[in-house]
Amino acid sequence: MFNPRLVLAAFATVVLAAACRPEPPPPATPEPTGPTPAEIEAQRVADSIAAAEAAKREDERQAQQAQREMEQRARAARETLGEMVYFDYDESVLTSETTDKLRAKLEVLRGCPSVRLRMEGHADERGTSEYNIALGSERAQSVSEFFTGFGLAGARFATVSYGEERPISQGSNEAAWARNRRVEFVITAGGNDLGRCQG
């Protein structure tokens, strides 16, 4: 609460007191002094804490960056491995486009010996469902044989065929069929190592 009368009274008191005070002595020239050993010690501690914290922050930053890079590498490797490959009608022969994709996977697999893959073969709806189980299997196996042909251990690869049972495109036209004639890749082991692998 602001009371103008009280303020006025306080001002008057201050003026009167000043009028009654004697002349003060001139101030002594201050003797120049360095920091005390205690202050130096305190500064040293503070500096070293700051340095440690900075180093820690830098470490964390680097670790985070390394983590990010690892995650990026892992994600990229995962994407490379997971990319589907496609086939011609009633064929399990690898096309050049498919071979390019498989070479990229091969690089990842070479650098990551702990990674295991399951190849899932699929067929389009044409032909009978039982024959298409065999066709899907043959597609998955040509992919498996591509990898083992480059010296990778066969034990790292398993195949399964879904035939025409799991279309990703529902239509009955060439575009849908082309998307359905495929091999999908599932990482069954070593997925956590993907970011740390060489290459």
Contact between 29 and another protein per CB under 8 A: no
Residues sharing a CB contact under 8 Å with residue 112, sequence separation 6 or more, in sequence order? 77, 190, 193, 194, 197
Measuring CA to CA, which residue among 110, 102, 125, 116 is closest to residue 174? 125
Q: Residue from 74, 102, 135, 152 that binds another protein (CB under 8 A)?
A: 135
Contact between 179 and another protein per CB under 8 A: no
3-state class of 163 per DSSP?
Answer: strand
Residue position matching structure tokens 């399990």: 92
Q: Residue from 43, 64, 114, 172 that binds another protein (CB under 8 A)?
A: 172
d(CA 7, CA 71): 68
Per rule CB under 8 A, count of chain residues that contact another protein: 28
Q: Residue from 98, 137, 142, 180 that binds another protein (CB under 8 A)?
A: 137
Quick one: 132 or 197, whose CB is closer to another protein? 132
- Closest contact distance (angstroms) between CB of 152 and another protein is 15
3-state class of 109 per DSSP?
Answer: helix
Residue ranges that bind another protein, judged by CB under 8 A: 89-92, 125-131, 133-135, 137-138, 140-141, 144, 158-163, 165-166, 172
